[in-house]
Structure 1
């Protein structure tokens, strides 16, 4: 019961942060969905979270997520895949994920479509992952080189990828996702980074009105993300705690 109580206390703190951020932004609390990122934590924690009322969980590695989702298959959970996705993992991911936040290339769009159609499952929700340090105006030197880049597509390429998702059988364009950049002029300024994502999200919605999801913000910057219009925040450490690297 100690873990259940710990998770419950942490959830209360995060819920208060989200509610306060929504109030400060003049947004209804129901505008924002909390996705608890359960990566590296056992299925037992996921089950406890479901018992505490969590409805959305996220994973970033299929080798961890697939067995965990199987163990938790009878729980009322919406599974989100948020990590970089290799095409050889696609068939596994489409068995349990309802949303893939990390779509970043046309090859992945094609692979996801083929896997969804072969599985016979309902449409898979897809978000375009945006790399805000890959703006056309940022030189390689200013951006800190390729090694510093987050995964994702450059802002100028979002529309093309969004159109491809929307036009591909078996897939549904749900919106856009980003992680605050590590390099470039927006590094260290999550508020401005999430404002930039909001601009991109608005452009995507202009062409695809149903693509309303804006996935942004984690434990350390969820307030800035909500202020900028995030509809989904991905929180791990603030709910589950800091896991030992050797754990």
Structure 2
């Protein structure tokens, strides 16, 4: 597919996704600018990210560190002046923290004390080395179905993990993230997450972000207070390349 055709395809998908978000916000009595669109670009090339940036998007997400590292660098070469923030949304092993701290602006999948410690060390080192210029924003990932394979801490672990994050000088607690359980009612899951977020904000007023909702369930997430929807398939289409 030529660049012109791909740009047109992405522009149409972006228009449709934004219309969905706008309708969901109106139905929930919210303003559309209350919900950020995060483009999940995993398995898609840096050239697609560049086209999305041309169309006005600034927030991009990856779920595998190895793929993201090269893509972020390639994007920077393709669009050196583009404003872009990169999110890590996949499960993160502690031994990948050092690399992630060099390219990620946000890690949304923080789910253990050991990962908090690893990210603090990695971010401090990256700041000292000049590989980054600002602290790392983090979200606590909450497991809403007790499925270990998808990551996330238990709801009753959120408060302690959040308290720990706020004690780290190079990490900034921003809120919570979750994935709706497979086969379950997303409305129930997102209602649970909303209540967890409300309790967290009581202790940490700065933790206002709720990252929830994807291509298939973003309307339900918006109805239950999501401030960021993570959209991949509805925006970019089917998988285009094999992750390294």
Residues 76-113 of structure 1, C-alpha deviations (whole Å, 9 max, x = no match): 11111000011111111111111100001011100100
Match of 1:110 among 101, 106, 117: 117
Match of 1:71 among 67, 74, 82: 74
Contact 1:33 / 1:232 at 8 angstroms: preserved in 2?
yes
Q: What's the RMSD between the two structures over aligned residues? A: 1.4
Match of 2:5 in 1: 2
Tell me the distance in 1 between the aligned counterparts of 2:186 and 2:161. 24
What is the CA distance between 1:192 and its match in structure 2?
Answer: 1.2
Match of 1:123 among 128, 135, 154: 135
Contact 2:45 / 2:241 at 8 angstroms: preserved in 1?
no
Tell me the distance in 2 between the aligned counterparts of 1:246 and 1:59. 14
Match of 1:137 in 2: none
Contact 2:43 / 2:242 at 8 angstroms: preserved in 1?
no
Corresponding position: 1:197 with 2:200? no
Match of 2:130 in 1: none
Match of 2:14 in 1: 11
Tell me the distance in 1 between the aligned counterparts of 2:242 and 2:50. 23
Residues 15-35 of structure 1, C-alpha deviations (whole Å, 9 max, x = no match): 000000000000011100000
Tell me the distance in 2 between the aligned counterparts of 1:169 and 1:65. 25
Tell me the distance in 2 between the aligned counterparts of 1:190 and 1:199. 14
Tell me the distance in 2 between the aligned counterparts of 1:160 and 1:106. 9
Residues 50-76 of structure 1, C-alpha deviations (whole Å, 9 max, x = no match): 001111000000111011111122221
Match of 1:181 in 2: 181
Match of 1:225 among 210, 221, 225: 221
Tell me the distance in 2 between the aligned counterparts of 1:209 and 1:33. 19
Count of matched residue positions in the alignment of Structure 1 and Structure 2: 231
**Could you list the runs of 5+ residues in structure 2 that have no partner in the other structure?**
128-132
Give the structure-1-normalised TM-score.
Answer: 0.90
What is the CA distance between 1:245 and its match in structure 2?
Answer: 7.4
What is the CA distance between 1:150 and its match in structure 2?
Answer: 2.8
Corresponding position: 1:32 with 2:44? no
Match of 1:209 in 2: 205
Contact 1:150 / 1:181 at 8 angstroms: preserved in 2?
no
**Could you list the runs of 5+ residues in structure 1 that have no partner in the other structure?**
135-145
Q: Structure 1 runs of 4+ off > 4 angstroms?
A: 244-247
Give the structure-2-normalised TM-score.
Answer: 0.92
Residues 164-201 of structure 1, C-alpha deviations (whole Å, 9 max, x = no match): 1111120000000000013xxxx520011101000000
SS of residue paired to 1:126: strand
Contact 1:133 / 1:150 at 8 angstroms: preserved in 2?
no
- Residues 246 and 113 from structure 1, CA distance in 2 versus in 1: closer, same or farther, beyond 3 angstroms? closer
SS of residue paired to 2:87: strand
Contact 2:44 / 2:240 at 8 angstroms: preserved in 1?
no
Contact 1:100 / 1:125 at 8 angstroms: preserved in 2?
yes
